Homo-oligomer: A and B are copies of this chain.
Amino acid sequence: MRNRFDAQLEQLHQKLIEMGNLCEQVISMTYKVLVDEDYEAARELIEKDSRIDLKERDIEGLCLKLLLQQQPVASDLRKVSAALKMITDMERIGDQAADIAEIILTSNIKAPGLDIPIGRMAEATVRMVTDSVNAYVWQDLDTAQKVIEYDDVVDNLFLEVKDLLIRQMDSDPEIHEHVMDILLIAKYYERIGDHATNISEWVEFSITGKHRGDENL
């Protein structure tokens, strides 16, 4: 029974890594779509988001099977329930990357000078996703906690973009609509950072049995 559980857990890890990988790819692609105005990449991104949705249902099925067949307790139960939560956040990351691509496809965005902080947001969130999935697989508390702290960097980048946008609007009334779209895009990256943080909080829970959200309750 234990061996079978371990084999299924190994399978779960593999699938989570694949799903995390797809999330990293779609986040990176948003930036490519934005900077290179690469509409082919935008379509590819939306197709990859469907694959992320498929992965979620697949992993969910595996987790439910694990719960029903193995009736795990203690840290094994925590690992499975943490995985169930993590995939919801990963699915949302895919959706938000697709939302970014859609804004870019339906508008003609030009926002001079904004590619730098937006690019840093994309880079930062890709790394947060990679690190949080690895932290789960290796049950590495230290990495999970670093991801959680790193979310402040992404939040600050969002405020930086917002300030830059306000200054650009003041100087150029022609770009009002672009500014709104860029603000929404930056907000999506900020939410992606929040989801990566959530994933790491579930990793922390799977290791320690404590969820930091509960401390404030």
Interface size class of A (residues with CB under 8 A): 20 to 34
Contact with B along A66-81 (1 / 0, CB 8 A): 0110010000010001
Instruction: Give bound CA distance, A187 to B77, whole Å.
Output: 36
Shortest Cβ distance from residue A113 to the other chain B in the assembled complex, whole angstroms: 17
Shortest Cβ distance from residue A213 to the other chain B in the assembled complex, whole angstroms: 6
Shortest Cβ distance from residue A63 to the other chain B in the assembled complex, whole angstroms: 10
How many copies the complex holds: the figure is: 2
Q: Is A53 an interface residue (CB 8 A)?
A: yes
**Using a CB-CB cutoff of 8 Å, which residues 50-93 of chain A contact chain B?**
50, 53-54, 57, 60, 64, 67-68, 71, 77, 81, 84-85, 88
Contact with B along A14-55 (1 / 0, CB 8 A): 000000000000000000000000000000000000100110
Interface-located stretch among A4-12, A127-135, A162-170: A162-170
CB of B50 within 8 A of CB of A216, answer yes
16 A–B contacts, CB within 8 A, in A order:
A50-B217, A53-B217, A57-B211, A57-B214, A57-B217, A64-B77, A67-B68, A68-B77, A84-B84, A88-B88, A166-B176, A166-B177, A166-B180, A169-B176, A173-B173, A187-B187
